[in-house]
Amino acid sequence: MPGLLAPHLRRFRSVLAVCRTGSTAQAALILPLSQSAIARAIRELEDDLGRPLFERAARGMLPTPVGRLLSYRAERAMAQLQLAETELKGHDQSGAPVATSRFVHTVGYRHLQTFIIFCDTRSETIAAQRLGVSQPAVNQTLRQLSHLLGCELFQRSARGVRLTENGEALLRRVKLALAEFRHAGEDLAAFDGRMQGRIVIGSLPLSAGVLVPRAVDRMLVRRHDLKVTIVDGTYDGLMYQLRHADIDVVVGALRPGAPGSDVVQTPLFEDTLSVVVRRGHPLEKQALRTLRDVVDQPWIAPLSGTPAREAFERAFRAAGVAPPSAELEVNSAIVLQALLQDSNRLALLSRRQIFHGISSGVFSILPIAVEETSRQIGLTMRADADPSASIRLFIQELQILAKELS
């Protein structure tokens, strides 16, 4: 779950209203709260944070630097909740119009936390255990959330619970909103000269070899208070997690063109492929010049539809032969290297992908010309993301390392 600021969701509404209007009196005109309730909410948040968020003067209330920092993140979080409300004003599963709600103005952190944990577990009983409440309390909170939005979020059947289309849309927006509060806590630490927080990195096969591990290691040497989680997987799986704020950045081979208007790709360097075999492979002793000489060998191919597979097929066509039929397709770098090490199979891989295997004498690169395998390696992020200080530090380390590897 996000950092310690998200539970203050209701108080942040008061902070934002005062930032917009300049006083608690004016804020009370746009919030369903009294002036005294707004003032109390701000004081309580200031007490919890141990610092003022506003300068009180005769001309009104002006946000302090910390107040501006936190209100910026809170504004972005509220914008995601507003988008959720807007997106759900379509039709529910029965085709009935979704009613207008005051979701963004009234929903509490308890609703959002319960919703995410239930989506993760698909069990009210397990969600209740995680939250430390009763199962009826979880059920009531989920019903309140559906009522606030005026639509059904779940469809229950004998086979279990699944999210409706509205439920899926809400889940993404809620995760994006809570990510902003997590980044707010990290930004607040950076304001105080500390670098702390958690970074979740999606690692595609190439980046797992040298790029991500080395960049993370360098960053943690400088900032050992940071916590890093590295998640590997398929491109589609990592992109889903990126779009749902479960991952902060994806590193690896970029897709040609734009994968979508909601994400941006930033190239780091170009990479090419080589023919890789285990050390001691019989082909090491043969005079080989092109891929024509090895097209009939047993190959391990990348997954269909990936940039690596496209480069694999282009390389053989550039050599004037049809790509070999792929009886074995592998996406996992660990599985691929294990297969290479224990067999006479061949693979087209980046030197960087198996850097450690080559330097330790496990693998060899055959002296075969491989053409037209150039591809861009880089990072992918959400287009509307404003990275926290810790994520920016990781990106900086990636860019420095990319120049060294180029």
Q: Which residue has the higher pLDDT, 331 or 94?
A: 331
- Whether the CB-CB separation of 392 and 381 falls below 8 Å is answered with no
What ranges in 23-162 are assigned the alpha helix state H? 24-27, 35-49, 65-87, 103-106, 109-121, 124-131, 135-149
Query: Which pTM value belongs to this model?
Result: 0.84
Coil, strand or helix at 166? helix
What strands lie across the sheet with 197-203, from one edge to the other?
226-232, 197-203, 249-253, 375-382, 263-271
* Bridge partners of residue 160, in order along the sequence: 157
* Bridge partners of residue 229, in order along the sequence: 200
> Per-residue pLDDT for 47 more than 90?
yes
Please tell me the least confidently modeled range out of 88-97, 180-189, 264-273, 342-351. Answer: 88-97
Q: What is the pLDDT of residue 257?
A: 78
Q: What is the pLDDT of residue 100?
A: 45
Q: How confident is the model at residue 90 (pLDDT cuts 50, 70, 90)?
A: low
Q: What is the pLDDT of residue 373?
A: 86
Q: What is the pLDDT of residue 122?
A: 92
How many other β-carbons are positioned within 10 Å of the β-carbon of residue 57?
8
Q: How confident is the model at residue 1 (pLDDT cuts 50, 70, 90)?
A: very low
Q: How confident is the model at residue 89 (pLDDT cuts 50, 70, 90)?
A: low
Q: What are the structural domains of the chain?
A: 6-172 (1.10.10.10), 197-270+377-405 (3.40.190.10), 273-373 (3.40.190.10)
Q: Which residue has the higher pLDDT, 89 or 13?
A: 13
The values of phi and psi at residue 190, to 5°, are -65, -35
Residue 159 is given by DSSP the state T
Angle at 369 (CA atoms; ends 367, 372), nearest 5 degrees: 145
